Structure 1
Amino acid sequence: MDTATQAVTVAVHDGATVVAEQAHDDTRRHTELLAPTISDVLREAGLRPRDLSAIAVGVGPGPFTGLRVGVVTARTMGLALGIPVHGVCSLDAIAHAVLAAGQQQRFLVASDARRKEVYWAAYDVTEQGVRRTDGPDVARAVDLPAHLRGLPTAGRGVDLYPEALPHALPQRDVSAGALATFVTGALRRGETLLDPQPLYLRRPDAVPQAERKPATPVTS
């Protein structure tokens, strides 16, 4: 599952192929959509939660609130079911969808970071698959080095900043199916995945207000 981008996306993988997948494009309803989508995908796959053997979740980077919805849900399910929970950089998950679609050369992934910025990472395509060569980081698209802005680019950044990122690839958000396919392959190869902890590249937009000092001394 992943909620780090604009989409809420969930898939079930049986170790060989994706057997069910759904995605909903709604930036403001991640909390309301994730649990019903999990139920729908399990029902489509003919499974119950106790049939799962592991959970994989995109850990961002992504907007603070939406990202936490997926990570907390995955960790809660893993604890309740007694199964492992694996984290994946959400930009890497988009990159694996790009690779699955047939990309054969170096490319960039740039997702919406709000504040007129993008979360970004650069990737090479090798015989072994896709390899991250730079990032993840956060910056204004126009401030990225020219050699990165000139790359084919996936993610919502190409829609938001087409002048800075003019070479658009079709993939916009995380595909839970591509994420699951990557994770099953990585586990089969004995690779170590990330802990299911949110990957934050900056402080959240909402912060507690500083305590106000009284205008006059307080006496007792």
Structure 2
Amino acid sequence: MREDAVASPARSWILGIDTSGAAGGLALLAVEGERLAARQLETRARGARALLPALDALLREAGVRREDLAAIGAAIGPGTFTGLRIGLSTAKGLALGLGIPLYGVPSLDALALEAWLEWRGAPEGEAPRWILAFRDARQGELFWALFAAPARPDRLPRRESEDGVDAPPKIPLPAGGPILAAGSDAPFPSAWEDARVRHAAFSTAAPAAARLAREALRRGDPPAPPGLEPRYGRLPRAMTQWGPPPGIDPGRTLA
């Protein structure tokens, strides 16, 4: 992953990878303009042997070569343990082989942006003031983070909290203004039945991961270091009972 890699006429696409949820997705976003191609991955297609063939199929459909990629944005969690490791390792291998930058995208940031892109054109009074991004954390809990919706449609949601993991009744709802609860892999919590709260369900946030990587590329942000690791949010129950395999830090929870 070269830090001096920049978009060129031959490198005119951003790849977004999101395998942090029960399903997953891939997206191609033009460096300039709004051309977008996306493919949803079923649970069985998130494995290491299926991810690259799915990418090649998306590239063929879009008429894009791997060599046309300018950067990669990969969701880094919180999310499913196996999915995160497969997605990030695939992204690292592609970025290294192509000599392009890789940007790690927090999964809840991508989910919040995906929701904002869908709702930013809502009529005045219906547009959200807050975006509460959440994802299934198992054991009756959710990964979550709160974002403030931007005042302008061309801006990005602003993070207002760290990632959290709690049961829905313990997740605080912000005061004042409509709330858009953007969820993935989890049903809408009954604890959030409030006239101010609207629900937007998404299976993947790969297009938003590509958009956030494009923003980072345009700003000239340094790419992720080779040692970039997933933010698991919480290790699987088997690891808490029997211990992690070699190379997994049991203390790595929320980054």
* TM-score in terms of structure 2 length: 0.72
**Equivalence for 1:112:** 136
Paired AA for residue 140 in structure 1: A
Deviation at 1:6, TM superposition (A): 2.1
Q: Using the TM superposition, name which of 109-118 and 30-39 deviates more.
A: 30-39
Map 1:24-173 → 2, pairs under 5 A: 24-26=41-43, 29-31=45-47, 32-103=49-120, 104=127, 105-126=129-150, 127=152, 128-147=155-174, 151-156=179-184, 159=187, 161-166=188-193, 167-173=197-203
* Higher CA-based Rg: 1
Paired AA for residue 158 in structure 2: R
Paired AA for residue 177 in structure 1: P
RMSD of aligned Cα (Å)? 2.4
- Cα contact 1:97–1:175 (8 A) shared by 2: yes
Deviation at 1:84, TM superposition (A): 1.4
2-side partners of 1:64 and 1:117: how far apart?
Answer: 16
Q: Using the TM superposition, name which of 120-129 and 194-203 deviates more.
A: 194-203
1-side partners of 2:107 and 2:139: how far apart?
Answer: 19
**Equivalence for 1:197:** 229
Kindly, what percent of the aligned residue pairs are identical?
A: 33
Runs of 4 or more, structure 1, over 6 Å off, are none
* TM-score in terms of structure 1 length: 0.82
Structure 1: give runs of 5+ residues left out of the alignment. 211-220
Instruction: List per-residue Cα deviations over 1:153-207 (Å, max 9, x = no partner).
Output: 1113661x53123334223233322221232123213446765420122233332
- Give the aligned length: 207
Deviation at 1:47, TM superposition (A): 2.1
**Equivalence for 1:8:** 24
Deviation at 1:85, TM superposition (A): 1.0
**Equivalence for 2:215:** 185
Paired AA for residue 165 in structure 2: V
**Equivalence for 1:217:** none
Structure 2: give runs of 5+ residues left out of the alignment. 1-16, 121-126, 244-255
- Cα contact 2:71–2:217 (8 A) shared by 1: no
2-side partners of 1:174 and 1:135: how far apart?
Answer: 21
